[in-house]
Amino acid sequence: MTRAAAAEVAVAGPVLEVMLFPVTSPGSQQIPPLPKHYGIPSPISLAPPRETACVLTQKLIETLWGF
């Protein structure tokens, strides 16, 4: 390393190299990226709400109705 390069590293910090393209050898197989999924995800549960959830929701609606 030259003095100028050493001085530059000392001032700017270590230089990080970024690989933009994966390194492959001839004949190697590349794994295609997984397809991206945009939109509404599937529901966490398909079960109907419990009775307590319905009662509490109704109480919340009645409480917020005045605001």
pLDDT at 65 over 80: yes
Q: What is the pTM of this model?
A: 0.36
Residue 43 to residues 14, 34, 37, Cα–Cα distance (Å): 47, 21, 15
pLDDT digits (tens, 9 = 90+) for 41-61: 888 899 999 999 999 999 999
The whole-angstrom separation of Cα 28 and Cα 24 is 6
pLDDT digits (tens, 9 = 90+) for 3-42: 655 555 555 555 555 556 556 666 667 788 888 878 888 8
Integer Rg of the chain from CA: 29
> Residue 28 carries which side chain, given as an amino acid letter?
S
pLDDT given for residue 43 in this prediction: 83
Residue 2: pLDDT band with limits 50, 70, 90: low
